[in-house]
Each structure stands twice: as structure tokens, then as C-alpha cells.
């Protein structure tokens, strides 16, 4: 077989077995994002806490999970932990690994988002005697979230592709199923062309979602972003003068 067969590639693309792998990839990504965001938010809050023990623990967590390869984390959870008598199903192993890893990155994104909201916003909320919950929910979170979307989008894009590492611990997601097809038919380029197309489609769909999110959360601040970012109120006034 010395040539590339487009028909074979197309047929792999519509292969039911491969499509189910795509669904597993999507499932892993969504679950890891949701789990990672919840855990990451908690870690970010600890990291910002004034309690040095909590902040230190959060810092250690982030340092550890960002400082080691996801591949090692997955293998340790899947093959290493059973040695200590801790056993999970394959899918659980993959999810635990992906969530723990993703949370470390998202925690830093969440933290940077909150830190970028000016102190003045919190002071205004205090002065209005808003409760801590209302201040968080209505004042700081929406502003922080808007700032988090671009790095969040980046991280989720990485995560989507990183789920392919779960193939190593035999999770039958897109990558693993491509391998299986390839070993069966030896049409290496054709199979991986189909897989590549799926990854590109998934990341493109996510790009589109991210753009819509940015637009949605930026709508109120299209004019303002420039000014608040440029901060000196003198600049604000001059914008007005020109208008």
C-alpha cells in the first residue's frame, strides 16, 4: 500500500466505532472542565485566603500538578495506586487525573481573574453594605469571569487534546480507538486523518463557543474595557470630549 486512500479516510471518519470514541473524548473533556472548574475555584479561594496554611496547601497543590506531566499522573493513578490497594475503573482513573490536573491550571486562571478586578469595586460594595455573597456573585464574579474567558478557552482547548493521553491507560476515546483501527487495518494515514479531522472540528466548535461567550460577557463593557483598563480617569474624560 504505497498511496493515500481518501475514500478510506472518509470511511474511517464515518466509522461508528470511531464516532463513539469521539463521544468519549467529548465526555471526558466536559466532565474534566466542570470538575476542574469547581475544584479549581475552591483551590483559587484557598490560594487567596489570608490563612497561610490554606494558601500554602493550595500553592503546593498547584505547584505539584502543574509541575508533573499529566501522563505520569494518569499512569500513577491507574497502575500505581492499586499497589496501595486503591482501585478505580478506567474511566474514573482518567477523570480523576484530568480533573486534578486541570484544576491546578484553572485555579491560577480564576485567581488572576479575581485579582484583576480593582479593589475599588470591593470598596464600593462594602460602602453600599452589600453582603459578601452578593458582592461575590453580582460584583466580583461577573467581572472576573469576563477576564477569565480568554485564558479559560486556551486551557480547555489544551484539555480537549490532552484527553488523548487517557488512551495510554486504555480509555477508549478517540485516540485509542484510532490506534485500534490502525492496528487492525494498517491504514495509518487514513485513520489518523479521520482522527485529526475530529480534533480540529472539536477545537473549532470550542473556538466558536468561546467567541460567543466573550461577546456575551463583553457586551456591557465594549466601550468601558478600554477606559477602565487605561484607568486614569483623565483619559475617560478626553474620550468623552471627543465623542
Residues of this chain that bind another protein (CB under 8 A): 118, 120-121, 123-124, 126-131, 134, 138-139, 142-143, 146, 220-225, 227-228, 232-234, 236-238, 240-241
**Minimum distance, C-beta of residue 143 to another protein, in the bound complex (Å):** 6
CB of 152 to another protein, least distance (A): 17
Which residue number, 134 or 209, has a Cβ lying nearer to another protein?
134
Minimum separation from the CB atom of position 128 to another protein (A): 4
Smaller CB separation from another protein, 123 or 207: 123
Return the number of the residue (5 or 121) whose C-beta is nearest another protein: 121
Min separation Cβ 235 and another protein, Å: 10
Question: Cβ 140 to another protein, closest distance in Å?
Answer: 10
In terms of CB distance, is 92 or 225 closer to another protein? Answer: 225
CB within 8 Å of 230: residues ≥ 6 apart: 236
Nearer to another protein, 17 or 126 (CB): 126
Amino acid at each position: 500500500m504505497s498511496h493515500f486512500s481518501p475514500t478510506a479516510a472518509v470511511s474511517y471518519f464515518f466509522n461508528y466505532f470511531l464516532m463513539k470514541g469521539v463521544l468519549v473524548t467529548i465526555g471526558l473533556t466536559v466532565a474534566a472542565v466542570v470538575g476542574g472548574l469547581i475544584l479549581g475555584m475552591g483551590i483559587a479561594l484557598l490560594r487567596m485566603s489570608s490563612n497561610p496554611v490554606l494558601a500554602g496547601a493550595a500553592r503546593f497543590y498547584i505547584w505539584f500538578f502543574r509541575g508533573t506531566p499529566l501522563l505520569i499522573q494518569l499512569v500513577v493513578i491507574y497502575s500505581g495506586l492499586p499497589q496501595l490497594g486503591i482501585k478505580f475503573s478506567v474511566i474514573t482513573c482518567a477523570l480523576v487525573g484530568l480533573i486534578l490536573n486541570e484544576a491546578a491550571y484553572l485555579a491560577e486562571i480564576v485567581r488572576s481573574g479575581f485579582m484583576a478586578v480593582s479593589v475599588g469595586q470591593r470598596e464600593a460594595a462594602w460602602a453600599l453594605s452589600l453582603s459578601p455573597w452578593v458582592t461575590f456573585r453580582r460584583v466580583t464574579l461577573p467581572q472576573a469571569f469576563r477576564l477569565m474567558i480568554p485564558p479559560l478557552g486556551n486551557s480547555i482547548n489544551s484539555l480537549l487534546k490532552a484527553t488523548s493521553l487517557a488512551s495510554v491507560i486504555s480509555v477508549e476515546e478517540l485516540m485509542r480507538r484510532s490506534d485500534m483501527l490502525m492496528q487492525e487495518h494498517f491504514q495509518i494515514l487514513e485513520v489518523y486523518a479521520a482522527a485529526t479531522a475530529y480534533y480540529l472540528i472539536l477545537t473549532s466548535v470550542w473556538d466558536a463557543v468561546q467567541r460567543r461567550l466573550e461577546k456575551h460577557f463583553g457586551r456591557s463593557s465594549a466601550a468601558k474595557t478600554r477606559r477602565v483598563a487605561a484607568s486614569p480617569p483623565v483619559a475617560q474624560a478626553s474620550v468623552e470630549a471627543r465623542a
